């Protein structure tokens, strides 16, 4: 009733019900309940009535009655009713046909059966939800088994093998009921009734399934597609024919498919469902058996055993019916020879052949699709588990598993474990196939079957050493691939520094050497596989020779029918035996991958008890550390931090300072729980927000980075942008806060990245803020504004701990911590610490010393009086005046309007630079195939491969024909040759055919290796020669996807797909030739069938090709998100955002699984139709053969045609399938070729324009009307810059963020080619010489110090040009000698990925060491000292002044003391030179921009 109180939903079987969308109008109270309408797409539901999208939102939903039944439920009821009718019909016939008097005993059994079926039907009708009753399910399974046994017995009677009278009424009823009972057996095994329990909203009358919320949430995540795949709700006929996929293929045939066209996955197929199932079973093992390592394989099996069981049922039926043909061939040959056992025997035999092939076709497709779906589930769940583990890895675990290795876990190992679903049932199917084969052989050759069993066992036993060999090679191959991927990921991440230092060739060669090692193991694996292929192609031949030979020796008589039946059996047995090496290899590979994944999943995670969370109301302390000792390496004797005592009251501002490497960042990590705790306690009260020293920016727009998963609150959002000084930056960007940020924030300046980080933290409105030197990357003015607006303003009521090297920010702190060597040496307020002296006093003194360099004296009014510092530039004053005059012509004229216009144009380069990943559309070009085939030995191996396969097929047909022709046609006939000749000729032909298979395998492996290596080398060189703009706009995940996934496909798959297509084509031609030889009428059907196949292939490939391309594109975001998440794991954990990122990963996995599922289903859709066509052609051939009078055609040849015809459907579908899979796989080649066509930079070396070896001698740099822009369609960033940097002088370059400072340096190194003007160094135009000649003669210390995984020696001198003595001297000069000497490995001290085991300051000093070793005449410092304390900055400047005194030094800096003692200072504004003069003259001009910067820096401490 409408006003009834809502009732809670029933509990039974809720999770097992398949979720569906259904909307049903509310019926008026007097009217009877109306049936549910068909489910409509979500967009067609009425919009006027509000819907409850999620269960639990709003008032509870009441269950609607009656519940809507699933299609399986209705079909099961129909089958029960059908079986009941069949029993009643048989009973009625018995009563009508029985002569009076009717015997009650004869009717008892049929009557009881009919009553039993009636009772079962009644029980089934009561199963409205959940599972069918156990009694019903058991009866269905037993009834099917009994019916099969009775059908077998009846068949023997029909064929005359049994002389008992046949009961035709029950025989017909049994055969008629068999399909229905088979379906009921399947439903009985599954158990589920397929009924959906619906709930209605009493307010709106809208009815919704219980699990609809999960599907609708998924639909909301992908606004482009609101349809769920009809696979889960399809009817029996639709499932059997796969017609549920036809709408998608119809769209694909009309236009290229897009991701939005592909339906969403059903709830049970989504990554979240699979991940939860696998994770729960894995964790349960860990909890139940703590002393035993959990088994990942067992967790997978427990999660998906039901799917595996259903697939096993289809596989069993398929295997049994596949042996019906070989079993009946001997009877068919006897019939053609004139031995007719019963009337219409020929037509009955032909019908049985046809029905068995039809069942084989239908079950095969359901089986294959089932294992594909199971593979998707396993891959989705495993990938999610690996991702979740990556987010929780401890520091020690990270050191042993780099991001490149973990990409391999996701791209290769997870894929391999998922693919094992294909081989899972082969383990038990092989014994079953052998048993069935032995039964058929026993009928034909008698006791000689024992020799068959022995020969088969020997063949299988021979594979044991092969499996170990394969496992060994696989281990080595995967280890080599891991190493290459690790180094590749590192090179892509650091490509800018490689190009700046002219090291790209050295690292490319290193990668090529790693690839050569990988190729060596790949070659051994492939060649050993070729040998294994020969052995196992020979195994069925060996078995057949042993069988026939034993039969002849024992005096048995072979007939043509028996031989053909045996050969057909061997042909079927040949498949599992031939696939056995693949099974062994796959088991070995899967075991390796499972071990690797299990080892990774068992790695140490960050402990949950690293920090103790304290409720906010219970204490006034936000952070409390008692006697804490922490170490990044727990095995190290010296902890990173020791005896830390820290108590921070809520609302305090705490500043942390100290020299580089003193443990400042580690202190923040200890509060976050990131660093392993050795002793003590860390108590934290409240939520935390973390800003790392090295900015971590997500790919996506600026708004997404600021919100970071928190709902939009527009007023708060605006306040955050204001406090972080981001408003002006956003106004200058064409798309504002919707501007897409590139990979690792590549298209933002260092200051902008840091401010986006600060905004992200502020928007979270946390209780505790941990800021790791956030002001180092911004200029003085912005830093002052940030400190006042952000820390003193927005965070005034928050607990703030900030690390800083700027002493001027210390007085505002309530508590200052001074760290040295991992200890808090001093703690207190600014004035107290200043009076105490020691370490803090040294830091302040260094700062005061820097400030004093700007003290040019003050007059009585406080104005800065003109004075000249010690390092005044005295020579060539007139030149300087000329330069100043030249600048004044275009520099001072910029006005406010020009500034705004210019900033707008400069920042336009930073608009949506990251585009959607490119993909081809339409057919794969023939040129891709031809180019690929020409990669190895110019295609000369292709004809040899085709020739070897042709000879194999000819010899195989000849061997089978020989056995059929030479043996007697029927029992009693004389053989046409002796037994010895029979066997010798057969052995020669059969083993000769397998020899050519070995030759073909060797040729294919050789061809594939050569082509893969050539493609890899070509792609790698093109990527390394690509301009820097390519890496700025291309996420590294896309490139890694090509060098990992696509390259693996080229290595292991494409050559064999190409060989397989040629092989299947030749086999198909052989089958058609044999059938046409006997029944030429088949050609009338073969031609139209081939045309139909080609049409369907084109219809299918239009969709399949695009699905594969979408699949390739959708793989990259999964890998990219993982790489990005690993890099920012500390930030993600610091904000408590693991769940959101996990959800994002699951969503991307579903986006990948959608096209994958549709692509796999499309393959089965095509194969089903191909096989059905060939099955009808085979049936036509059989009908022609049985219609001929006996003796018209030679029985042996007819039997041979039937033997080959049994394989026609499989070969036809395999032919089309092999071509389609080849086209799908060749897309990997197409994608690699895309990266082989990347426009390259200018030549590295121009032979006829090489500079002298001593160039540059003076270091004189002249810029002449220099114009630079990032793309041809973008505005200029530098506008006609003209000036001269005199050789040997120190040039300071300053300016606001976005003024063009870094662009000028990029133009100097030609990372960006000038659009106009020239850069001349010592009278040589840099554009006229090679890039390597230019960059190797210049030196740079970049803003972000990059270290490579390896050793200190390799990082300082990767080209291996310097001696150890020179390296030690450089280390001493950059103040790292003592640190390195204190380590056991000295120069071979390890450097982890990203240099994580060295502080940022130490990394910067190593970069300085590189410059000292390079000894270039021109040195560029790009914010090189931003991340070091003032004392270290002063030290670095001192080293530069002494070691580079005769060099031209160009310094970009935000710290004014860094450039104040330069000989000349250039002030850039909006891409133009605003000022260029000595710092003294610029300071004398009180209106100069430089004077404003000096004033801001010197007075900001007092202002604060």
Q: What is the pLDDT of residue 852?
A: 58
Strand 1290-1295 versus strand 1464-1469 pairing type = parallel
Report the DSSP beta bridge partners of residue 820.
823
d(CA 1261, CA 719): 45
Cβ proximity of 913 and 1032 under 8 Å? yes
Find how far residue 510's CA is from the centre of its chain.
25
Q: Of 1010, 953, 964, whose CA–CA distance to 986 is shortest? A: 964
Residue carrying the six token digits 């192609």: 537
- Positive or negative torsion for Cα 833, 838, 844, 849: positive
Q: What is the pLDDT of residue 859?
A: 38
Residue 239 Cα distances to 71, 244, 269, 362, 1162, angstroms: 11, 7, 17, 10, 13
1413-1463 residue pLDDT tens = 888 889 998 877 766 666 777 777 788 888 888 889 998 877 777 788 888
Residue 838 Cα distances to 658, 815, 826, 834, 851, angstroms: 12, 17, 9, 9, 20
- The residues, any chain, with a CB within 8 Å of residue 157's CB and separated by 6 or more, are 164, 166, 171
Find how far residue 144's CA is from the centre of its chain.
44
Q: Helix or strand or coil: residue 1351? A: strand
Report the DSSP beta bridge partners of residue 808.
none
| Dihedral in degrees, nearest 10, Cα atoms 1290, 1291, 1292, 1298 | -150
Across the 1504 residues of the chain, what is the mean pLDDT of every consecutive 10-residue run?
Answer: 37 35 36 33 33 34 39 77 80 66 60 77 64 76 82 69 60 80 79 51 36 36 63 83 89 86 88 90 86 87 89 91 84 78 82 89 91 92 90 80 76 85 85 83 82 81 72 83 87 88 89 92 83 73 82 77 77 70 77 88 84 85 90 81 90 88 88 88 90 84 87 89 84 77 69 87 91 79 82 90 85 89 87 75 68 47 33 32 36 38 40 51 74 85 90 85 75 71 84 86 90 91 90 81 85 82 84 78 72 81 84 81 84 88 91 90 87 82 76 71 72 74 82 88 89 88 89 80 90 81 88 90 90 90 82 86 86 84 83 78 83 87 71 76 86 79 87 88 84 72 46
Cβ proximity of 529 and 1008 under 8 Å? no
1492 HSE (CA, 13 A, CB side): 12
d(CA 818, CA 50): 61
Q: Where are the alpha helices (DSSP H) in 1316-1359?
A: 1331-1335, 1352-1356
Q: Which long-range contacts (CB under 8 A, 24 or more apart) does 986-992 make?
A: 986/544, 986/545, 986/548, 986/959, 986/962, 987/541, 987/545, 989/955, 989/956, 989/958, 989/959, 989/962, 990/541, 990/544, 990/545, 990/955, 990/956, 990/959, 991/538, 991/541, 992/951, 992/955
Give me 352's structure tokens: 């049985």
- The residues, any chain, with a CB within 8 Å of residue 695's CB and separated by 6 or more, are 745, 750, 753, 754, 756, 757, 777
Q: Of 1128, 1133, 1125, 389, whose CA–CA distance to 687 is shortest? A: 1133
Q: Helix or strand or coil: residue 521? A: helix
- The residues, any chain, with a CB within 8 Å of residue 537's CB and separated by 6 or more, are 578, 993, 994, 997, 998
Burial pattern 1458-1470, b for ≥16 Cβ within 10 A else e, equals bbbbbbbbbbbbb
Q: Of 181, 78, 187, whose CA–CA distance to 125 is shortest? A: 78
Find how far residue 451's CA is from the centre of its chain.
49
Report the DSSP beta bridge partners of residue 641.
630
Report the DSSP beta bridge partners of residue 612.
683
Q: What is the pLDDT of residue 992?
A: 87
Convert 381-439 into a string of H (helix), E (strand) and C (coil). Answer: HHHHHHHHHHHHECHHHHHHCCHHHHHHHHHHHHHHHHHHHHCCCHHHHHHHHHHHHHH
Residue carrying the six token digits 């170490």: 631
Q: Of 1223, 1218, 1303, whose CA–CA distance to 1268 is shortest? A: 1303
Quote the crossing angle between the two packed helices 345-392 and 271-288, to the nearest 10°.
Answer: 70
């Amino acid at each position: 009733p409408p006003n009834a109180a809502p009732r809670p939903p029933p509990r039974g079987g809720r999770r097992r019900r398949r979720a569906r969308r259904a909307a049903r109008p509310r019926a008026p109270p007097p009217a009877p309940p109306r049936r549910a309408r068909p489910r409509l797409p979500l967009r067609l539901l009425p919009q006027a009535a509000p819907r409850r999208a999620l269960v639990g939102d709003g008032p509870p939903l009441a269950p609607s009655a009656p519940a809507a039944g699933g299609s399986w439920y209705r079909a099961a009821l129909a089958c029960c009713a059908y079986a009941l009718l069949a029993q009643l019909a048989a009973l009625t016939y018995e009563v009508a046909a029985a002569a009076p008097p009717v015997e009650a005993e004869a009717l008892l059994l049929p009557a009881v059966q009919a009553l039993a079926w009636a009772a079962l039907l009644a029980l089934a009708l009561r199963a409205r939800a959940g599972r069918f009753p156990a009694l019903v399910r058991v009866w269905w399974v037993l009834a099917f088994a009994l019916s099969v046994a009775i059908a077998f017995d009846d068949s023997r009677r029909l064929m005359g093998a049994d002389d008992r009278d046949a009961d035709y009424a029950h025989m017909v009823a049994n055969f008629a009921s068999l399909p229905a009972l088979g379906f009921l057996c399947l439903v009985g095994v599954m158990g589920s009734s397929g009924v959906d329990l619906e709930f209605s909203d009493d307010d709106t009358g809208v009815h919704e399934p219980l699990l609809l919320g999960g599907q609708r949430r998924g639909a909301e995540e992908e606004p482009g597609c609101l349809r769920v795949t009809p696979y889960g709700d399809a009817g029996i006929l639709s499932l059997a024919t796969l017609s549920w996929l036809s709408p998608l293929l119809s769209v694909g045939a009309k236009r290229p498919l897009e991701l939005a066209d592909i339906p969403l996955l059903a709830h049970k197929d989504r990554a979240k469902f699979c991940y939860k199932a696998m994770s729960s079973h894995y964790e349960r093992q860990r909890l139940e058996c703590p002393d035993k390592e959990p088994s990942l394989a067992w967790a997978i099996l427990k999660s998906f055993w039901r799917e595996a069981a259903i697939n096993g049922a289809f596989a069993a039926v398929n295997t049994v019916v596949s042996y019906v043909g070989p079993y009946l061939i001997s009877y068919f040959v006897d019939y053609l020879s004139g031995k007719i056992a019963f009337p219409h025997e020929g037509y009955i035999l032909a019908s049985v052949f046809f029905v068995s092939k039809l069942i084989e076709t239908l079950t095969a497709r359901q089986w294959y699709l089932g294992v594909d779906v199971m593979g998707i589930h396993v891959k989705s769940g495993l990938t999610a588990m690996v991702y979740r583990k990556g987010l929780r890895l401890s520091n020690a675990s990270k050191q042993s598993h780099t991001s490149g290795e973990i990409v391999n876990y996701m791209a290769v190992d997870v894929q391999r474990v998922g693919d094992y679903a294909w081989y899972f049932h082969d383990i038990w199917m092989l014994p079953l196939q052998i048993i069935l084969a032995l039964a058929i052989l026993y009928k034909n050759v008698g006791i000689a079957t024992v020799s068959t069993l022995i020969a088969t066992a020997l063949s299988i036993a021979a594979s044991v050493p092969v499996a170990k060999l394969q496992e060994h090679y696989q281990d080595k191959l995967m280890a080599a691939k891991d190493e290459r991927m690790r180094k590749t990921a590192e090179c892509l991440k650091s490509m800018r520094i490689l190009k700046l230092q002219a090291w790209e060739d050295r690292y490319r060669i290193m990668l090529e050497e790693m690839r050569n090692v990988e190729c060596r193991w790949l070659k051994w694996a492939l060649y050993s596989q070729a040998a294994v292929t020969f052995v196992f192609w020979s195994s069925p031949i060996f078995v057949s020779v042993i069988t026939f030979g034993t039969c002849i020796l024992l005096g048995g008589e072979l007939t043509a029918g028996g031989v053909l039946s045996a050969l057909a059996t061997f042909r079927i047995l040949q498949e599992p035996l031939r696939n056995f090496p693949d099974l062994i290899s796959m088991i070995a590979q899967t075991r390796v991958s499972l071990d690797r994944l299990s080892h990774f999943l068992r790695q140490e995670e960050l402990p949950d008890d690293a920090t103790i969370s304290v409720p906010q109301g219970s204490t006034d302390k936000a952070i409390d550390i008692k006697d804490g000792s922490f170490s990044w390496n727990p095995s190290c004797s010296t902890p990173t931090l020791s005896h830390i005592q820290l108590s921070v009251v809520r609302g305090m501002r705490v500043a942390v300072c100290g020299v580089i490497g003193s443990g400042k960042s580690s202190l923040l990590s200890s509060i976050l729980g990131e660093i392993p705790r050795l002793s003590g306690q860390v108590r934290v009260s409240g939520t935390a927000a973390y800003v790392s020293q090295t900015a971590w920016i997500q790919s996506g727009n600026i708004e997404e980075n600021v919100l970071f998963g928190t709902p939009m609150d527009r007023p708060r959002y605006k306040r955050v942008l204001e406090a972080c000084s981001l408003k002006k930056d956003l106004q200058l960007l064409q798309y504002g806060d919707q501007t897409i940020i590139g990979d690792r924030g590549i298209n933002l300046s260092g200051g902008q990245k840091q401010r986006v980080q600060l905004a992200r933290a502020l928007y979270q409105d946390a209780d505790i803020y941990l800021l790791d030197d956030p002001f180092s990357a911004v200029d003085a003015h912005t830093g002052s504004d940030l400190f006042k607006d952000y820390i003193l303003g927005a965070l005034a009521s928050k607990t703030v701990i900030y690390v800083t090297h700027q002493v001027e920010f210390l007085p505002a702190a309530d508590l200052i911590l001074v760290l040295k060597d991992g200890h808090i040496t001093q703690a207190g307020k600014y004035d107290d610490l200043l009076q105490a002296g020691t370490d803090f006093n040294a830091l302040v003194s260094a700062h005061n010393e820097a400030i004093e360099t700007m003290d040019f004296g003050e007059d009585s009014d406080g104005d800065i009086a003109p004075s000249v510092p010690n390092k005044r530039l005295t020579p060539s004053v007139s030149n300087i005046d000329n330069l100043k005059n030249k600048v004044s012509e275009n520099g001072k004229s910029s006005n406010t309007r020009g500034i705004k216009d210019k900033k707008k144009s400069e920042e336009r380069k930073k608009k949506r630079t990251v585009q959607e990943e490119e993909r081809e559309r339409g057919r794969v070009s023939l040129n891709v195939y031809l180019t690929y085939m020409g990669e190895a030995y110019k295609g000369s191996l292709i004809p040899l491969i085709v020739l070897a396969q042709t000879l194999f097929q000819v010899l195989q047909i000849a061997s089978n024909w020989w056995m059929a022709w030479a043996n007697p046609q029927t029992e009693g006939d004389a053989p046409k040759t002796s037994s010895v000749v029979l066997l010798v000729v057969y052995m020669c032909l059969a083993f000769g055919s397998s020899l050519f298979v070995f030759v073909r395998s060797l040729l294919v492996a050789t061809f594939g290796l050569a082509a893969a290596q050539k493609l890899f080398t070509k792609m790698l060189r093109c990527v390394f020669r690509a301009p820097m703009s390519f890496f700025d706009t291309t996420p590294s995940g896309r490139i890694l996807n090509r060098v990992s996934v696509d390259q693996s496909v080229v290595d292991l798959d494409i050559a064999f797909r190409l060989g397989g297509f040629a092989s299947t084509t030749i086999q198909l031609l052989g089958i058609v030739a044999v059938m046409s030889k006997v029944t030429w009428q088949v050609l009338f059907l073969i031609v139209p069938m081939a045309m139909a196949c080609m049409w369907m292939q084109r219809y299918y490939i239009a969709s399949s090709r695009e699905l594969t391309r979408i699949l390739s594109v959708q793989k990259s975001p999964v890998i990219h998100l993982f790489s990005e998440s690993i890099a920012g794991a500390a930030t993600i954990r610091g904000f408590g955002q693991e769940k959101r990122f996990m959800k994002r990963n699951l969503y991307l996995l579903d986006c990948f699984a959608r096209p994958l599922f549709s692509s796999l289903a499309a393959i089965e859709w095509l194969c089903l139709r191909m096989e059905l066509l060939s099955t009808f052609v085979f049936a036509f051939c059989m009908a022609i053969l049985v219609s001929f009078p006996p003796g018209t055609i030679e029985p042996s040849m007819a039997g041979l045609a039937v033997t080959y015809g049994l394989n026609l459907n499989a070969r036809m579908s395999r032919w089309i399938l092999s071509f389609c899979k080849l086209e799908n796989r060749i897309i990997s080649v197409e994608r690699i070729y895309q990266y082989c066509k990347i426009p390259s930079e200018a030549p590295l070396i121009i032979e006829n324009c090489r500079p002298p070896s001593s160039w540059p001698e003076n270091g004189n740099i002249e810029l002449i009307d220099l114009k630079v822009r990032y793309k041809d369609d973008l505005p200029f960033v530098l506008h006609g810059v003209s000036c001269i940097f005199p050789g040997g002088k120190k040039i300071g370059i300053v300016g606001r963020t976005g003024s063009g400072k870094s662009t000028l340096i990029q133009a100097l190194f030609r990372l960006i080619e000038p659009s106009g003007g020239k850069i001349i160094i010592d009278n040589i135009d840099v554009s006229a010489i090679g890039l390597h000649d230019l960059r190797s003669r210049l030196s740079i210390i970049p803003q972000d110090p990059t270290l490579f995984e390896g050793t200190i020696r390799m990082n300082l001198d990767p080209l291996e040009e310097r001696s150890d003595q020179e390296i030690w001297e450089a280390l001493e000069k950059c103040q790292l000698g003592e640190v390195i000497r204190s380590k056991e490995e000295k120069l071979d001290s390890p450097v982890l990925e990203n240099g994580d085991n060295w502080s940022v300051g130490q990394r910067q000093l190593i970069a300085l060491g590189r410059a000292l070793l390079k000894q270039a005449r021109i040195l560029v410092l790009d914010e090189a000292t931003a991340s070091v304390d003032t004392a270290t900055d002063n030290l670095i400047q001192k080293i530069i002044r002494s070691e580079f005194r005769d060099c031209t030094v160009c310094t970009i800096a935000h710290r004014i003391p860094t450039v104040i003692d330069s000989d000349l200072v250039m002030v850039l504004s909006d891409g133009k030179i605003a000022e260029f003069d000595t710092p003294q003259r610029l300071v004398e001009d009180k209106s100069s921009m430089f004077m404003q910067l000096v004033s801001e820096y010197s007075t900001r401490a007092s202002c604060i």
